[in-house]
A and B are shown apart, each in its own frame.
Chain A
């Protein structure tokens, strides 16, 4: 096994710990909140990076998948099933502990699905929707694929904005925390007392996402994806089933976006239609572009940095404009992305050859 590929993962683990310790020491714990939220957005851009950078397929609908994840989990965990509590099916779910009782903010009894049910339902529905959208849409290329996925994103936005169960313009609020493991009280929850715990939960999920991404990239499948990006005809001649791999990667990216949506919704305690806008989708694409397209580590860095700055409000009311501007600048001056892997490699080989030169010079 090539263990070298995990070195950056270990570096990331250490960095996550070091940043937490620095923040702890500098008494600026509030930064953890934005770092936690950024982590969930990073999950979206990692998935998109696999799709765009490796399989070479663009999606301007990732916010749609994020919203599908977030909204499904939000609705399932907040919809009050108390009126139906006598029905057999709800009793059955209660027995399986898939439906749990809690109290809302005003002390009223509330019976709703557990977050784990919400999570799995969100993932399952995302897979189905990605499958249904992906099969016809991935036959398209370039601008056409971009437009089709944009259309999908717009539909999702309009659905959540216009449907009563999704709270229309208000979105869904009072979403409970997500108790991951009851035994050790691990809970995705935005309350200040759980801030450090949540920072680690979020980054643990990102690290898992990075591990599977790194595995994928350095596998037969990852090579096949890059070959599709290189030349579809040649990939085909090598026996790569192009449409299958495109579809699988599309589904993977959708699932990562949905998982980000589920966790961020439970962390924030709410989700609104702004998460489903195409501006969000464009933001994700812009982040992958600055990150270097086929560079998941670059995408991770840019994902954290830009989301953090945005969430801290450094871009003020020009938030979306900043991402739009980034997009234009990247497309004009570095269409291959800013942190381009091949450039980094060129720098590496340059230094290597220089060192070799020195060795030769001094026998």
Chain B
């Protein structure tokens, strides 16, 4: 029996009169890759922002490792072990790749303002650990070559990988990926898909939002379909693929 990692219960979120997320409930088991799909404006990103704390739900609850994280601030949620990437990559452009990943070690270290000002021995021992770990992560993702490059000088595909490296530096339990394949070509998408499966092997649970249906079908253990903010279907990729209503949503009534 697999352990429950994340539980979403009856989540609601409005934007003015628009209900972006309506009564959505689902759960994520430890070690799986779960995907959220749905047409544009279905509320996928809103749902992500609710889980990672960027938005507060109007009702419902989010339970992570048997602890409610509903309404927690994003940095607190990161501390608890949920890491995320963004739809449009948000790297720290004026910092090097290595420094970007080093920021990812923030939650795993604790030298604070005063000890940083005085550069106490504890601080520089910790600094060394941060750097070693960041270098290690970059090696695993084969990014060592570009480690001293400024993030602003990287190609779009490279930026995506660095964002992955940075998110992994948190050593999260749960990794939220917001459209990891957006803007990538077929080959780059395949590489990202392989990477996601590799990350799952490391024991990190993944929840992703994605438009690239074929990639989602390839890598996910379970899929949730959202439409107009509501959960429309949930199940294994092959079931979702066969579901005529899902096909209707994606292709329109006439084609069904």
A and B pair up: yes
Cβ of A240 and Cβ of B103 under 8 Å apart?
Answer: yes
**Per-residue A-contact encoding for B78-112, CB less than 8 Å = 1, 0 else:** 11000110100011111100010011111101011
Instruction: Judge whether A239 and B92 touch: CB under 8 Å.
Output: no
- Are A240 and B119 in touch, CB under 8 angstroms? no
Nearest B-chain residue to A228, judged by Cβ:
B92
**Which B residues are in CB contact (< 8 Å) with A226?**
92, 94-95, 99
Report the separation of the CA atoms of residues A239 and B83 in the bound assembly, to the nearest whole angstrom: 9
Q: Would you call A237 and B119 a contact (CB within 8 A)?
A: no
Who on chain B is nearest to A219 by CB? B116
A222 at the interface (CB under 8 A from B): yes
Find A221's partner among B54, B102, B111 (CB 8 Å cutoff).
B111
Q: Is the CB of B95 within 8 A of A236?
A: no
CB distance A227 to B95 under 8 Å? yes
| Separation of A38 and B111 alpha carbons in the complex (Å) | 33
Flag if A239 contacts B79 (CB, 8 Å).
Answer: yes
Among A2, A223, A238, A239, which residue has its beta carbon within 8 angstroms of that of B124? Answer: A2
Count of CB-CB pairs between chains A and B under 8 Å: 113
Instruction: Enumerate chain A residues within 8 angstroms of B90, measured Cβ to Cβ.
Output: 231, 233-234, 237
Within 8 A of B (CB), among A175-226: 212, 215-216, 218-224, 226
* A252: B residues at CB distance < 8 A: 113, 117
Contact of A242 with B by CB under 8 A: yes
Q: Are A220 and B104 in contact (CB under 8 A)?
A: no
How many chain A residues touch B (CB < 8 A): the figure is 32
Chain B minimum-CB-distance residue to A251: B113
Q: Is the CB of A237 within 8 A of B95?
A: no
A220 and B111 in contact (CB under 8 A), knowing A233-B54, A238-B166?
Answer: yes
B78 near A239 with CB under 8 A, answer: yes
Q: Is the CB of A223 within 8 A of B95?
A: yes
B144 nearest CB across to chain A (Å): 18
Nearest-Cβ distance from residue A171 to partner chain B, whole angstroms: 32
Asked whether B94 lies within 8 Å of A294 as measured between CB atoms, the reply is: yes
Contact A236 to B150, CB < 8 A, known contacts A215-B118, A220-B109: no
Q: Tell yes or no: A230 within 8 A of B by CB.
A: yes
For the complex of A and B, list the 7 residue pairs with the smallest distance between their C-beta atoms, beginning with the closest.
A230-B92, A239-B78, A239-B107, A219-B116, A215-B119, A234-B90, A236-B74
B positions within 8 Å CB-CB of A = 52-54, 73-75, 78-79, 83-84, 86, 90-95, 99, 102-107, 109, 111-113, 116-119, 121, 123-124, 126-127, 130, 150, 166-167, 170
**Assuming A223-B102, A230-B95, A240-B75, what are 5 further A-B pairs, CB within 8 angstroms?**
A215-B123, A226-B92, A238-B166, A248-B113, A342-B150
Chain A residues with CB under 8 Å of chain B are: 1-2, 212, 215-216, 218-224, 226-227, 229-231, 233-242, 245, 248, 252, 294, 342
